[in-house]
């Protein structure tokens, strides 16, 4: 029996245009007929405008909140504080007032380097922290305080390096992939044995759904939501290189002091170019250059000990690489973002050959099939990753 709109449970998702938010929106739209998730853009609801938030809640009466919004990792102090901390706090206050669950996304940037880090092993809060980890760490502390002091029903998911399709920004893992595809990484900016924890964006929505249905078990918890096995950075880089069949990066490990000097030089060049009217920016990931040289792996023990059974537990960044590479290379080529990559190096299905070499035959095939594309062009995942 179909669920009427009036019977649907309604939730609010902040940050629905990002990689994580987009995955959540797709999941709730296609997999949960009994749940309606609203995801207003920042023009309709800005975390920096308390009146916007209050008006939206008064109008739509959401029964749960998911906060996947973040300010860019290289944002200034004002924006990071307003979005990452005050925005999270404003949502938490409304969750307390209306007695509804609040799912909040945090980051491994709030943790120090180390192996098998627990949820409690956060960095000390200090003025020396960069704006992004400082604001996210403050939000983590305040949510825990509001749970103890005022009964906030929240769960914080702390993610590793997120990978997945449909990220419209080139950042994080996708910046790494882009740099290799564009042959902009001549050598390895890391050292042997450095490992990090990774999170597949497709795994997140089913777990969020489970969290909403099992509040008694998960309320008041911080959970590391990461793939069980960490990833060696140099192995990942060289595997991507092998798939793309490019000549660089070479297996030369640049020492950290030399890499740090390179970062200083890049910063100087960016400032000099700005002085003559050429707009450019240093890649935001270079703010965390030290992380390329130090392992940081998150313990998944709390997640694995819970009642949740991950339907994609065997999926890893390595198992997804061919699909991710094909998707992003095609996207970046279409947008003319990659200048040096030869698309013939990675086109396992040769789907463009007919269009380039014999468009008339392709057109005839489509017409004979009544406008249906040949099997070669069909998505075997049917729109899913």
Tens digits of residue pLDDT in 150-202: 999 999 999 999 999 887 777 888 888 988 888 888 889 899 999 999 999 99
Check pLDDT > 80 for residue 298.
yes
Which residue, 10, 18, 150, is CA-closest to 83?
Answer: 18
The whole-number pLDDT of residue 169 equals 79
Beta strands in 60-149 (DSSP E): 65-67, 102-107, 114-117
The whole-number pLDDT of residue 171 equals 81
The whole-number pLDDT of residue 283 equals 60
The whole-number pLDDT of residue 382 equals 42
- Average pLDDT for 2-17: 78
Least confident of 37-51, 255-269, 365-379: 365-379
Least confident of 4-18, 26-40, 196-210: 4-18
| Banded model confidence at residue 346, pLDDT cuts 50, 70, 90 | low
| Banded model confidence at residue 90, pLDDT cuts 50, 70, 90 | very high
Q: What is the mean pLDDT of the chain?
A: 86
- Average pLDDT for 41-61: 87
204 CB contacts (<8 Å, ≥6 apart)?
A: 20, 23, 24, 157, 159, 225
155: left (phi over 0), alpha (psi -120 to 50) or beta: beta
| Banded model confidence at residue 84, pLDDT cuts 50, 70, 90 | very high
- Average pLDDT for 102-116: 97
Check pLDDT > 80 for residue 56.
yes
Burial class (CB in 10 A: 0-12, 13-18, 19+), 158: buried
The whole-number pLDDT of residue 348 equals 47
Who wins on pLDDT, 369 or 293? 293
- Average pLDDT for 244-271: 80
Is residue 232 a contact partner of residue 195, using CB atoms and an 8 Å limit? yes
The whole-number pLDDT of residue 168 equals 76
The whole-number pLDDT of residue 1 equals 46
Is the pTM above the cut of 0.85?
no
Least confident of 68-82, 233-247, 323-337: 323-337
Check pLDDT > 60 for residue 340.
no
The whole-number pLDDT of residue 148 equals 97
Beta strands in the chain (DSSP E): 9-14, 35-38, 65-67, 102-107, 114-117, 154-159, 161-163, 195-196, 198-200, 221-225, 231-232, 296-298
The whole-number pLDDT of residue 284 equals 57
- Average pLDDT for 16-28: 93
- Average pLDDT for 286-310: 90
Element (H, E) at 143: helix 131-150
The whole-number pLDDT of residue 368 equals 80
Check pLDDT > 90 for residue 268.
no
């Amino acid at each position: 029996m179909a669920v009427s709109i009036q019977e649907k449970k309604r939730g609010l998702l902040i940050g629905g245009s990002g990689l994580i938010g987009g995955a959540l929106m797709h999941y709730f739209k296609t997999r949960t007929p009994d749940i309606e998730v609203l995801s207003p853009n920042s023009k309709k609801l800005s975390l920096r405008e308390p009146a916007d938030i209050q008006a939206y809640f008064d109008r739509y009466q959401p029964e749960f909140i998911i906060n996947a919004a973040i300010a860019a990792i290289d944002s200034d102090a004002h924006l990071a504080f307003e979005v990452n901390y005050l925005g999270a706090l404003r949502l938490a206050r409304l969750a307390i007032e209306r007695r509804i669950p609040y799912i909040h996304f945090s980051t491994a940037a709030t943790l120090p380097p180390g192996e098998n880090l627990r949820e409690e092993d956060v960095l000390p809060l200090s003025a020396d922290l960069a704006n992004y980890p400082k604001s996210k760490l403050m939000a983590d502390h305040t949510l825990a305080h509001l749970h103890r002091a005022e009964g906030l029903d929240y769960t914080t998911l702390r993610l590793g390096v997120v990978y997945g399709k449909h990220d419209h920004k080139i950042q994080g893992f996708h910046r790494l992939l882009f740099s290799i595809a564009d042959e902009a990484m001549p050598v390895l900016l890391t050292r042997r044995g450095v490992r990090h924890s990774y999170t597949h964006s497709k795994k997140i929505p089913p777990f969020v759904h489970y969290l909403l249905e099992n509040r008694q078990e998960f309320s008041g918890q911080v959970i590391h939501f990461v793939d069980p096995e960490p990833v060696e950075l140099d192995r990942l880089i060289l595997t991507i290189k092998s798939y793309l069949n490019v000549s660089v990066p070479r297996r030369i490990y640049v020492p950290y002091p030399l890499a740090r000097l390179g970062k200083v030089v890049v910063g100087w060049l960016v400032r000099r170019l700005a002085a003559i009217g050429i707009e450019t920016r240093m890649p935001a990931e270079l703010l965390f250059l030290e992380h390329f040289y130090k392992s940081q792996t998150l313990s998944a023990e709390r997640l694995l000990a819970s009642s949740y059974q991950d339907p994609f537990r065997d999926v890893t960044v390595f198992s997804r690489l061919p699909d991710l590479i094909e998707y992003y290379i095609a996207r970046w080529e279409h947008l003319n973002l990659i200048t040096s990559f030869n698309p013939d190096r990675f086109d396992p299905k040769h789907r463009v050959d007919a269009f380039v070499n014999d468009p008339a035959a392709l057109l005839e095939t489509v017409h004979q099939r009544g406008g249906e594309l040949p099997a070669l062009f069909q998505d075997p995942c049917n729109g899913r990753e």
